Structure 1
């Protein structure tokens, strides 16, 4: 049964079958060959896997991100960041990175961040004679912040898969996300300085004030969402609902960039994204149930512990594994498959599950900007009209900077756990 499960998984992945059908299909094959499990368990487990109250946060955060993207939030965030940092060498690249960090605190999605920020900042960078491959690589690399800085859909998936507090995971993801943002800004600054890319004209004091006034409602959104969660005023799911109403109100009545005609498309786009996520989550439930029944997590734990009983060696092996898996598997899918396997080993070695969730997410996020599956690459390629091979020299530099950042996050747990220890329950 174990062999059939993993052979089916690998064959279906190679054939390019969508990941939800890969998980479900390999599980059904394993059940059919077992002879002692009723097929109805597939429907039962898939239904229970999508019935979690916590999962309600995902569709609302997706919808909130789409509302704010169409409603002019990303444009105002770009203008604010440009007025503050655009005059520095590599300023527009730093603007792209910082704006991605801001938008990440709204959307929870890497691809949504790449699309919303890329469509605005890439043309602006080209106007200032930045290399288009560099511009695209910068947005593709920094949009990964969308799944690290809370609210993060990937961290919600990890929390559901491992039974870890979503609020604690959100608190844990904040500082590592800011840290990675700073790492990317430093790398971009030195690359631009070496290439001699032209900075923007320095904004006047009045222009900075005006940009801040225009974007104050955009800045307030993540403050309301994260402040409410961290203070215990409302749960992540309730925060997601509040974000939707806030985004709709601001876009319709204040910025007036959303019309009633836009709403059906926003809803349908959000529904398509959510349907994909929920299908993966429900399919992963039956896959995870079979893994547990076959005691595969215990076998994985023994395998890792057989290599070394040191948690530092284990974390290094996990980093290598996740970086490799992230190149070939979508981050959310990899999270729901691997979290139930690796988390028990982490617990055995005394690793905090909240910290481990941030490690997993930070690693898998890098896969968003690495071929062949890196979804951010395809989003920015379409926006900037470039090819992946042209971006490669810049992507390599960002990649190694991100790996260095992830290693620091891995081996300095307080970077993830500081806020949890201060404000967690």
Structure 2
């Protein structure tokens, strides 16, 4: 039997395992090992690649730290305060709570940098409130899933760190480039939420109260400070992204441990946006105890323990694909499409299709080194292409059949996966429009980069 036939059989076998629910990490690993035997690629090379991933880059250390940041701001109550502020600003509109959920996702993403953490945190907090507020439970869960897509676009972003590490691009520039497209994604999804809720009459309106807005803004000041700390440190050059992640973790731990006893003294209630018993309680979040810190770190370590090995085996997969000539084949196919726009949209189509079945990390690690040089060779700015590539990868989080955010939202809300699809497709359409617009207008990604230089 020829090598091609063996590789086809191996690919079909691991595809069957994937369809049966085998974790993506193991699916990729089995494929790498099987193909390595077929093409006589020494397993020592695979082992070396796995080790090199962990020894090459200081920048990758930012990933577990930002994941931990997301858990800390959720546990401390900062995330709830940010959600309360968003609702006080938008609750007077039809669908205001749904729009506030999406806005809260954007604010949470500006600290955590993780799509799954964003979806899980905002979904678990606001889905019950939306159901109580007369929203359809399927729409509520789909809103959390869609809102989480900005978790890897609005800086700081774990996937931008990985992309910059792979393509040797300044991570701070990638962060800046993601601000406008990420904001556009939030606004597009909020528009969808407003239209859908207006048509169906969902949601309970609350009056617009500037006093309430100001109070909840004061209540969320620690969240705004954390966002500002990250952005200021990175964009002024005071911190590298990894250092910024470490500083933010330290800040969140300090705030959580300090606020817990203060919260008890002031009598603040975690279930209300602002405790009117004490003016000072507006400035103090719920916090957490020292004995609870190991549990928070353990939960973050579990997520990191899934993502980091996935990066490693994806890099090994990239090596196998290179040995098989996949890079040259895809390169010739994309280059053969023609000029600037043909290459750009062909690359986008490949990212979109791949994102339907794989998570953003393997998509980025496998495809970015292949597609980015081709795009740059026809005149696409490397930072612009990075944003286009990663916005496409983020859309994969709500694109069936994989749609990681859909699974996360289903898990935290209890709404079955397939019941989310009716409303997630509406958000998907809006995000696709934003994606094409960002691809056609490089200034959306590059204006702030040029302004900050």
Q: How high is the TM-score relative to the length of structure 2? A: 0.88
Give the corresponding residue for 2:406.
377
Q: In 2, distance between residues paired with 1:158 and 1:4?
A: 32
Give the corresponding residue for 2:279.
none
Q: In 1, distance between residues paired with 2:15 and 2:450?
A: 40
Give the corresponding residue for 1:404.
433
Which deviates more, 26-35 or 233-242? 26-35
How far the C-alpha of 1:3 sits from its partner, in A, is 6.8
> In structure 2, which of residues 209, 215, 237 is the aligned counterpart of residue 210 of structure 1?
215
Q: 2:205 matched to 1:176?
A: no
Which deviates more, 322-331 or 254-263? 254-263
3-state DSSP class of the match of 1:50?
helix
1:250·1:256 contact (CA, 8 Å) conserved in 2? no
Superposition RMSD in Å:
1.9
Give the corresponding residue for 1:269.
299
2:392·2:435 contact (CA, 8 Å) conserved in 1? yes
In the TM superposition, what are the counterparts of 1:186-335 in structure 2 within 5 Å? 186-254=191-259, 255-306=285-336, 308-335=337-364
Q: In 2, distance between residues paired with 1:212 and 1:248?
A: 21
Consecutive unaligned residues of structure 1, counting only runs of 5 or more, are none
1:101·1:149 contact (CA, 8 Å) conserved in 2? yes
Consecutive unaligned residues of structure 2, counting only runs of 5 or more, are 260-284
Q: 2:149 matched to 1:144?
A: yes
Which deviates more, 194-203 or 333-342? 194-203
Q: Which of structures 1 and 2 has the larger relative contact order (alpha carbons within 8 angstroms, sep 6+)?
A: 1
Q: 2:26 matched to 1:21?
A: yes
2:105·2:122 contact (CA, 8 Å) conserved in 1? yes
2:69·2:252 contact (CA, 8 Å) conserved in 1? yes
2:17·2:27 contact (CA, 8 Å) conserved in 1? no
How far the C-alpha of 1:10 sits from its partner, in A, is 5.0
How far the C-alpha of 1:284 sits from its partner, in A, is 2.2
Q: 2:14 matched to 1:12?
A: yes
Q: 2:400 matched to 1:368?
A: no
Q: 2:124 matched to 1:119?
A: yes
Q: In 2, distance between residues paired with 1:74 and 1:116?
A: 8
Structure 1 pair 155–198 and aligned structure 2 pair: CA distance change class (3 A): same
2:110·2:155 contact (CA, 8 Å) conserved in 1? yes
3-state DSSP class of the match of 2:290?
coil
Which deviates more, 125-134 or 377-386? 377-386
2:7·2:38 contact (CA, 8 Å) conserved in 1? no
Q: In 1, distance between residues paired with 2:130 and 2:182?
A: 24
Query: Any idea what the Cα deviations from partners look like across 1:359-403, whole Å, max 9, x if unmatched?
Result: 121112112122322222222223333223333332221111111
Structure 1 pair 344–298 and aligned structure 2 pair: CA distance change class (3 A): farther
How far the C-alpha of 1:59 sits from its partner, in A, is 0.8
2:134·2:204 contact (CA, 8 Å) conserved in 1? no
In the TM superposition, what are the counterparts of 1:59-208 in structure 2 within 5 Å? 59-208=64-213
How far the C-alpha of 1:23 sits from its partner, in A, is 3.3
Q: 2:50 matched to 1:46?
A: yes
